[in-house]
Amino acid sequence: MIKACIFDLDGVIVDTAKYHFKSWRRMANELGFDFTEKDNEQLKGVSRMDSINLILGWGNKQLSEADKVKWASQKNEWYLEAVNKMTPDEILPGVLVLLQDLRKKGYKIALGSSSKNAELALRKVRIISYFNTIIDGTKTTRSKPDPQVFQMGAQRLRLAPEECIVFEDAVSGVAAALAGGFYAVGMGSPENLGAAHLVLSSFENITIESIIKQIGA
């Protein structure tokens, strides 16, 4: 029986992924190379330091650990400049209605994100009050596809994985949910997220009952 929903942040609740892309790309450009939005898909659900290692690999650049930390910090400053300007208008279609419906029907709601700025984003778009617990990059030690972030969320809610649905837009996030024994709903393209129990293009006109029915929970 489903008792909770665990949401990733970027690309599921809000589109902060575009701010990550712009900030990482600005870093790459200042280091003398570039990468594409398609490349950026590989960074979804990946921690900050793992992301910088991937990007440097694309540009055949080598940096000292100290310089990696410096650039990661600079990238985060650029990203925070954008996040601090966010408004409720940036909540993705259908999300707010679903959160309201879940709360009304007694489902628990958690966030499971690798972002270290998840709470700030939720405050800026004014939906933090809907979440019973928030697990983000400040609380985890392992990145997706490791299921740690979702396992910690379920533990905080005092629920078993099979009582929770995870909503993810990244291949690594779907893999993490499945590895942890959760139901996985991919948000995006079936081509990329076909391993999930269900793939949705958006939350518009979607109810928790229809999701539970389609995943066979």
Phi, psi angle pair for 183, to nearest 5°: -75, 135
Catalytic residue among 8, 39, 89, 136: 8
Long-range contacts of 179-185 (CB under 8 A, 24+ apart): 179/145, 179/146, 179/147, 180/147, 180/150, 180/151, 180/154, 181/147, 182/6, 182/147, 182/150, 182/154, 183/2, 183/215, 183/217, 185/211, 185/215
User: Whose structure tokens read 């400049």?
Assistant: 81
Token readout for 115 is 């972002």
Note if 89 is an active site residue: no
Note if 10 is an active site residue: yes
Upper half-sphere CA count for residue 87 (Cβ side, 13 Å): 1
Count each helix (H run) and each strand (E run) in the chain, helices first: 10, 6
Q: Report how far apart, in Å, the C-alpha atoms of 139 and of each of 114, 117, 148, 167 are.
A: 9, 11, 10, 19
Task: Tell me the catalytic residues.
Answer: 8, 10
